[in-house]
Structure formats: C-alpha cells, structure tokens
Structure 1
Amino acid sequence: MAENRYVAGVDLGGTKVRAALADRGGHIVAEDVVGTDPRGGTAVAEQIAALLRSLAEGAGVAWTAVGATAVGSPGAPNPETGAIDLSPNISSFDSLDLQHELARRLGHPVVLDNDVNMAALGEQRTGGGRGYRDFVFVAVGTGIGMGIVVNGSLCRGARGAAGEISYLPLGTDPFDPANQVRGALEEAVAGATIARRYEEATGECVSVPVVFERAGAGDEHALAAIDDEAKFIALAVAAVGAVLDPEAVVLGGGIGSRAELLEPVRRWLGRLGAHAPIVRTSQLGHRAALIGAIAAARHEMTRGAEHRIEPEHRIIEGITHE
C-alpha cells in the first residue's frame, strides 16, 4: 500500500461542492467545484467520492496515498447517528449516515463537521482568526451561521448545534411559524432580504451584487438596504458577545466578506453602547471552509497514524494552532 501522503477536503453546499487534494504540508495539488447533485442523500455521497477520486487521478496521485478526508456540510452533524440535522438545502441528509457512506466509498477515515465550523478552522489557521484563542466566525450569505473557537478549540454544544445563530430571536417575529424554519435572524439577514428591501424602496428587482454596486455609487436606497443588514448583524454580534465574550468576530460568507459591510456593522455596535469585540472581515473569503477541511483532514491523518485508527466515521475534535 502506498504511504499516506495526501488528504482531501470538501466544502459541501446546497448548490456547489468545492473539493481539493492537498499534500501532508497542506499545499493544494488539485481542486475543482461542481454543482451539488439535486437528488441529495446517497447521490451526494457518491458525487463527493467520484469527485475526489477524479482529482487524485488528474494529479497523478494513487488513491491509496490519500489518507483522510474532511467534509464541511450545512447543518449540525449528529455524533450518535452520523446524520445531519438542520440542513434543509440538501434533501435526505437528516436520515443518512453521511460519514459512514463516505468512509465506505473512500476506504479511509472521514471527518464531518458543520461548514461554518470548518471555515472557523480555516480562519484560525491562516485567516482573520489567527492569533486569537477565543473568536467566532460569522458567515452571512444565503443564510447565517457561526463557528465558535474557545481556548483554541471548536465548541459544538450538546447536539452539535452550537453557533446556529439563525435561530436567535432577532430581526423578525420569532413566534411566527413562518420564521421558525430558517430562524428569525436568518429571515432578516439572508442575502435575498437585501435585494427585497431595495425592491420595496425602489420597485426595481435587482441582484444582491447590484445592490452593493449601486451603494458604492452612492445610491441612497442601496445604502439603506445595506445599513439595515449591518444593523441586524450588529445585534447578533452583541448577543454573541454577551454570552461568549470573544476577542474577535470574523465576518465571512458571500455577504459578510463584503468590505462595504464592515464599517456599518462597527458603527451600529458603537451605538449599542456595550463593550464590543474586534470585528474583522474574513481574509479567506469563499475558501475558508475548504482550507479548514484540509486542516481537519491533516489532523485526522496524523492522529490515525499515531494511534493506528482503522477507517471509520467521526466528528472532528478540537484543533489548536500549529
């Protein structure tokens, strides 16, 4: 059998699967992104396995030289069943042991964690969280989620759902059943909401990137829509700060990574009057979860070699700075 000299990382989303193959030092040797199989369930597990094997083949790497894979997925992986709860964008994940399905197909240890947790690891290693023992990574895009690093290690909670701040009772009526599927806060800050606010003010339906573009040109309605977004993010940051007292908050995701959002968030935090943590923009952008997954796979492969762990499915344990 070839020596394990490579690892694989996967950032699994509701619409895209981003995957990479890296050497033991974490240097990426192959990478690709494809649309997520809309059938969900085992079809996605098969898609991930085929994609990773294709990357290895394209890079001239024997599959037996790949020692571990880590996957960041939307939702909360259940440590008892391997199923993924709170993942409405990928069908059948709440009844599938994704870890087992992938480990069986890949033939080596598989690490599974929430995608925002993986992004927090990426930021901890090489991004905006580097140098902090206690920080949170808040991803704002299609929805909102948070990865929590306490004393250098990820915090997941009793059910793996720590950081699911979409359910904070802020921004919209938390008692309205319509706001309880995605969460009250997510209904207020989801990307489509920015475009909807702009449309309500102007009667014009445009995409979120166009709203940001027009805000940059001084459009008052676009600026107001972004300011509303910043206000609700600031409220979430204040709530998180009151509970966790992090040193820093790193904003990421397709919307959170926008530089235009940083100063309005800081301004609203200042108006709240409470002591606020440092707020920074992600340095890794959309690659944060993939880089975190590679770090998790490297950790798993090293641990497996040290303890002679047989291929199995597991929830990743805390990873501290190298």
Structure 2
Amino acid sequence: MTSSDENAEQPWNPQRQRSANERLLLGRLRAGGAASRAQLARETGLSKPTVSSALAALEQSGLVREAGTHTPERGRAAVLYTPDPAAGYALGIDIGRGWLRVALADLDGTVVARTDVRNRARTSGSMAGLAVTTAHELVETSGVPAHKITQAVVGTPGIYDEETRRVRYAQHLPGWGRAGLFDRMREGLGVPTTVQNDANLAALGEYTYGAGAGSRLFVYIMIGTGLGMGIVSEGRLFTGAHGAAGEIGFLPWPGRRKDTLEDAISADAVVEAARAHGMTGELTAKSVFDAARAREPAAVRAVELEGERLAHAVAAVAAVLDPDLVVLGGGVGHSADLLLRTVRQTLRERTPLRPKVVPSRLGEDAVLLGAVATALDAARDLAFERR
C-alpha cells in the first residue's frame, strides 16, 4: 500500500489539515529562507489567519523562531520567521578500518561537534562498542540535549541487508557481518539508526556539499583499502535491486585466476606495483605516492599503472551509466592530482565516452558528511512529528 493510498483512506479532519499547513510552511522556510507572514501567505496560497495560526503553533513547539524584522519602503515593519536549527540534531558515523569519525549537526546541516579517533579495535564487537562510546562522548561534550538527537546514520564498508540486519561483503573488517551487531549498536546509541554503504554515503556527501552538486548523474569512485562506487541520479542514490549497485570491486580483472578489479585498483595494488618496479622497504600507498611526487621512477611507474587501471574502470562505468561526472575519492583518491593526467589520457586512447573526471572536494570527510546529510532528512521529519 502506498502512502497516497493510506492518505486517501484516512478521513479529513481539522487536525490533519493544521498539520499539513504547518509542514507546508516549515518546508517553505527551509527551502527559501526567512519570510514574513504576508510573504508566506502569498507564496503558499494560505490565508493570513491560517499562516499566523500555523506559525504560532510551530513557534510554540520550537520548530521556528523570529529572525528579526523587515521594513518595506511602504508599510509597517514585518516580523520574519525562520526554522530553529536547534529543534533537532542528526548524528553521522563513519566506520573505517583505520579511523572512526563522528559528527553532530543541527537541522540547518551545520556541524556543531565532531571527533575523529583511531580505530584500534581488534574485534567487530569492540569496534561497534567504540562507535557507540565515541558518539555518546561527543554528545556529552557538545552540550546538546540527548533527547534532541532524532536520527543517526552509520556508514560502513559492505552492503547492509535490512532483512537479516547484517552487513555483507565487508571483507576488510573481519567479523563485521555478525548477526545482532548493528542491533546492539542501535540499542547503545538510543536513537533511530540506519546503516548504509560508505561509498554510497560518500557520493551523497559529494553531491550535497562537494564536487557533485548540480550533476544530473554522477558517480563517486572510492579507492582505498577496497574499491567501491556510489551512484547519484537526479539527486537520488541508486542502489540497485539488492543494494549492490556500484560494487565494481567485484568485477573480474584479467590476470591471475579469481582476480577482481579491487585487486588491481586499491591501496594494496599500488604497493604491489611499486615493489614490482623495484621499490623496497616498508611501503604504503601514501609512501608510494609521496615518492612519485619526488619523481622516483619506480613510484612514478606504479602510480601511472594505477591511473591506467582506473581509466579502465571509468571507461566501463561510462559505457553502462553515461555519467556527466566522475569523482575520485577514498585514501588513494586523495592523490588524484597524480592520477588524473594518466586517467584522462588513457580514456582518450581507449573510448569515445569521456565523462569529466575530478578529485573529491571533501576528501576524508565525504562519508561522514554523507551520513550527516542522510540523517538530516529523517531528523527533520522526526522533529516535526515529535512536536
């Protein structure tokens, strides 16, 4: 049954009408900024008495507040109203293999508190516990009343299965698919909590706050410990029939048997290529990129190889999705300045389909800000419903 069907079956009553009017005005104020009663009446088609009554109810419930006055050239000064950002808060949590990031934002989307901690957890249970503890500590130090936090969103590698309430395919977080793990996290956080794939959230974050803004269809390729992709079409996330759309790391890669695209394009692949070209010692993807910036030949060749392989992935994505923009992010993506020349040149050589390829503007904050943006949608609705 659709929501429209449900609404059609419910009889009209004054209380529902008042609620609809209040929601309409609140939506207008969020979208268009501060406005007076007269301006709201003109723009919504509601009568001035109806607008006044609805604003009074919204103000009494703490959802809107006065925002000064406006004096026109002719006429009396008018009181302006704006949504109160402190009417509710959203919690975003980014769980990665190396770092745990938590942010608290008001209903305007302003991050009012944030913390980043090293993820030194040895087990999935301790990792979940660290996320809950860190979130509570952040809220306590922020001064935000806990009851005002209306929604949390957790970003994690892998695909969250709503039916089994377990994460699948989080290969780089051992034990992360255990049954009941996220149920315990929800209980520990004490607020409505949803779980989403980190690349999907990064794509939403980049669309809302970064390079993807205004794109008709863009993809965010996350290159780090693993390889993933988020797809945003007309401002909406596309996840496929089972939530696995964008899991390009599973694509086969010509080479050793069972090799995948993730084996060819990831932090480990960069290190492997650097060793194959003669680099020695304790290596990380970051140290290889640093050496490439210093023009060390083996590192330069390893980075070029990564760019060529990445172009292969972009070409495949372009043929299937036809995006107008491809954003490179993740740990390896942070070094996109070294990759872009090779990626663009290889695309010119291999395919007539050449979407614009740019680095992430949000860097390591993409997943966290995507979690915040996603949580805000639900937080605003819940703040209104709880009034």
TM-score by length of 1: 0.87
In the TM superposition, what is the alpha-carbon distance from 1:30 to its structure 2 partner?
1.6
- Would the alpha carbon gap of residues 113 and 87 (structure 1) be closer, same or farther in structure 2, given more than 3 Å must change? same
- Aligned position for 1:59: 142
* Residue 295 of structure 1, aligned match among 373, 376, 387: 373
Matched, 1:71 2:154: yes
Q: What do the CA deviations read for 1:110-144 (whole angstroms, capped 9, x no partner)?
A: 12100111100110011111110210000111121
Q: Who is 1:317 aligned against?
A: none
Equivalent AA in structure 2 for residue 277 of structure 1: P
Alpha carbons of 1:4 and 1:90: their partners in 2 closer, same or farther (altered >3 Å)? farther
Q: Is the 8 A contact 1:17 1:36 kept in 2?
A: yes
Task: Specify the alignment match of 1:304 in structure 2.
Answer: 382
In the alignment, does 2:339 pair up with 1:261? yes
Deviation at residue 76 of structure 1 after TM alignment? 0.4
Deviation at 1:100, TM superposition (A): 2.9
Change in CA separation of 1:214 and 1:39 when aligned onto 2, cut-off 3 Å: closer
CA distance in structure 2 between the partners assigned to 1:193 and 1:27 by the alignment? 37
Alpha-carbon separation, structure 1, partners of 2:385 and 2:316: 41
C-alpha contact 1:170 1:236 (8 A) present in aligned 2: no
Instruction: Tell me what 1:87 maps to.
Output: 170
Q: Secondary structure at the match of 2:225?
A: coil
Task: Map Cα deviations across residues 225-262 of structure 1 (whole Å, 9 max, x no partner).
Answer: 11110111111111111111111100001111211111
Q: 2:265 aligns with which of 178, 189, 199?
A: 189
Question: Structure 1 residue 15: deviation in Å?
Answer: 2.7
Mapping for residues 168-183 of structure 1, pairs under 5 Å: 168-173=251-256, 176-177=257-258, 179=259
Within 5 Å, which residues of 2 pair with 1:1-322?
4-36=87-119, 38-173=121-256, 176-177=257-258, 179=259, 184-205=260-281, 206-258=283-335, 259-306=337-384
Question: Secondary structure of the residue that 2:177 maps to in structure 1?
Answer: helix
Q: Is the 8 A contact 2:206 2:366 kept in 1?
A: yes
Partner Cα separation in structure 2 for residue 119 and residue 153 of structure 1: 13
Q: Provide, for residues 146-189 of structure 1, a one-character-per-residue CA deviation record: whole Å limited to 9, x for no partner.
A: 0011222111112211111111112534xx24x3xxxx111111
Superposed displacement of residue 274, structure 1:
2.2
> Displaced runs of 4+ in structure 1, greater than 4 A?
1-4
Q: Distance in 1 between matches of 2:115 and 2:245?
A: 30
Instruction: For 2:96 and 2:298, locate their aligned partners in 1 and report how far apart those are by CA, in whole Å.
Output: 31
Tell me, yes or no, if the aligned pair for 2:228 and 2:247 is still in contact at 8 Å. Answer: yes
Please report how far the alpha carbon of residue 195 of structure 1 lies from its aligned counterpart in structure 2 after TM superposition: 2.0
1:38 is displaced (CA, Å) by 3.1
SS at 1:94 equivalent: coil
Q: Could you say which structure has the larger radius of gyration?
A: 2
- Partner Cα distance (2:385, 2:255) in 1: 49
Alignment check: 8 A CA contact 1:19 1:31 kept: yes
Decide whether the 8 Å contact of 1:109 with 1:300 is kept in 2: no
Q: 2:94 touches 2:154 (CA, 8 Å); kept in 1? A: yes
Q: What do residues 58-94 of structure 1 show as CA deviations (whole Å, max 9, x unaligned)? A: 1112211211111110000112122100012223332
Matched residue type, 1:229: E
Distance in 2 between residues matched to 1:159 and 1:73, nearest whole Å: 16
Report the residue type matching 1:195 in the other structure. V
- Superposition RMSD in Å: 2.1
Q: Take 2:285 and 2:128, find their aligned partners in 1: how far apart are those partners?
A: 31
CA–CA separation in structure 2 for the residues paired with 1:23 and 1:195: 41
> Unaligned regions of 5+ residues in structure 1, if any?
309-322
Gaps of 5+ in 2: 1-60, 63-85
**Contact 1:4/1:67 (8 A) holds in 2:** no
Task: Give the aligned residue type for 2:104.
Answer: L
Distance between the aligned counterparts of 1:18 and 1:96, measured in 2? 23
Structure 2: distance between partners of 1:225 and 1:171: 18
For the 8 Å contact 1:37–1:43, the answer to whether it is kept is: no
Query: Which letter maps to 1:202?
Result: G
CA distance in 2, matches of 1:270, 1:170: 21
Cα distance, 1:32–1:223 mapped onto 2, change above 3 Å: same
What is the CA distance between 1:20 and its match in structure 2? Answer: 1.1
In 2, the alpha carbon distance for the partners of 1:273 and 1:47 equals 46
Deviations 1:253-300 (A, max 9, x none): 111121111111111111103211111110000000001111111111
Structure 1 distance, partners of 2:366, 2:157, is 14
